[in-house]
Structure 1
């Protein structure tokens, strides 16, 4: 090989390396023009898919991308999949967002939340006539939702502690049902004397007559806190992030198609959100010993 040929090959190699380096610094697009979406499994997978289907079609129309929703079996999988770029967009609870923020070194971006999520609450329920207030839970069996659930575990636990109750010490038994609708089933079947779930799922179950309120009743409600949001991975193309944000914000209850989507999401409308809204959730998690 001549010196000139060797020099040309070396220059070509350097050029390719520089091109690859520059590409690695560009914002990542969703793979193969597919937007990969999931949600924390706070309800049954079939219910999550039913709720998302019209929203997924709407996002396809707004972004020009194929939208694929994949249900998962646990909260941790959503966080890990967002961090490892297996997901582009995820429906997270407040605590799950905090976990995602930590796992992604602060790069995960919450873009929108339902207006209701700025003042979310949890409902304490029971079928035991002796339970009328939080103090009556002493010595009783109790069901939380999933351990990483904001509204089914973290915030109720925080407010129980504020009321002077330590679940592991003061309750006869503590169980985790895994999901909000499962908590209602636990209490209705007598598997737990009381439990807690988010207000939105409770209201939906009551409206759909999937809970007998003559037997299972609400006896306490938490103070409000920030909860759910739609979060994107931090290296997603900013142009796509903007499209997604605008798509959610443009959902209009005056539009029949949009009203149906909002209804399934239990939302009056979506509003912008940001990471600082969840500082209180992070503080509550540290206070409960769930974060260092």
Structure 2
């Protein structure tokens, strides 16, 4: 009897171990590594993310760390190479990441505003009142990999029969939306294009003199930003993440603070097909191969 009982101990231990593993919290003691495309100053990105990060920590039951990246390409490579777990992408950066990974990047959620996002063209030059007036002028985009600061503005310029590389006197890349406003207001270039959300935030904060700098063209709407993850993320964690974003409610004071910092009314589900037009625009502009 004793020998028989002893023989059963390994099997019993294995069963207990399996039960323990199944009941343990998912990703216990681990960290969710988050970043965002650097379309604004690093300090601003950190400030915007802090309340959201604290909220996600409570919802996930795990530590959430925000790590700034040096450029747009680093955000793509970081997610693909498992150095990051979730990234705030622009539509074009998502397309780049999805193509580079062979379709293994999932856009999780987007702001409701991102269904019909827009870019604005700004200037201090009184002779510039339409896209056609940009011929022979100096101009700045944001980052080369920016959807709202480069790809879509370039796409609309090309549709208006204006090739920035041949029809403009000089084309520059500021690196970020707020830097584009600074370049235009400071007289470094005649005009520039940026994300409408950042423009409206700077105007609301009185960080731009609208008597001097003005919008002369606003693009039609297009899909843009989203929070993306890899397809190999633990499905339980992915579901918790999605649920956490979708649960944010502007009628709740704490949630409203998070949504306001994200410049969002609410978050909604999204899918890869939403960015097909951006991929097409990128290929047509020669920015995606």
TM value normalised by structure 1? 0.89
| Map of 2:4 onto structure 1 | none
In the TM superposition, what whole-angstrom CA distance separates every residue of 1:35-92 from its partner, at most 9, and x where no partner exists? 0000000000000000000000000000001000000110000000100101100000
Q: Is the 8 A contact 1:30 1:236 kept in 2?
A: no
Provide the rounded CA distance (Å) in 2 between the counterparts of 1:80 and 1:226: 22
Whether 1:273 aligns to 2:270 is: yes
Whether 1:149 aligns to 2:152 is: no
Q: Is the 8 A contact 1:253 1:269 kept in 2?
A: yes
Alignment root-mean-square deviation, CA: 1.0
| Map of 2:239 onto structure 1 | 242
| Map of 2:181 onto structure 1 | 184
3-state DSSP of counterpart to 1:57: helix
- 1:32 deviates by 4.8
Equivalent residue in structure 1 for 2:38, among 31, 38, 41: 41
Q: Structure 1 regions of 5+ residues with no counterpart?
A: 1-28
| Map of 1:114 onto structure 2 | 111
- Equivalent residues, number: 264
- 1:30 deviates by 6.1
In the TM superposition, what whole-angstrom CA distance separates every residue of 1:178-211 from its partner, at most 9, and x where no partner exists? 0000000000000010000000000000000000
- 1:291 deviates by 1.2
- 1:33 deviates by 1.2
| 1:63–1:133 Cα change, 3 Å | same
Q: Is the 8 A contact 1:30 1:88 kept in 2?
A: no
Q: Is the 8 A contact 1:200 1:266 kept in 2?
A: yes
| Map of 2:280 onto structure 1 | 283
Q: Is the 8 A contact 1:87 1:233 kept in 2?
A: no
Equivalent residue in structure 1 for 2:133, among 122, 127, 136: 136
Equivalent residue in structure 2 for 1:73, among 58, 70, 74: 70
Q: Structure 2 regions of 5+ residues with no counterpart?
A: 1-25
- 1:143 deviates by 0.4
Whether 1:259 aligns to 2:253 is: no
| Map of 2:95 onto structure 1 | 98
- 1:231 deviates by 0.2
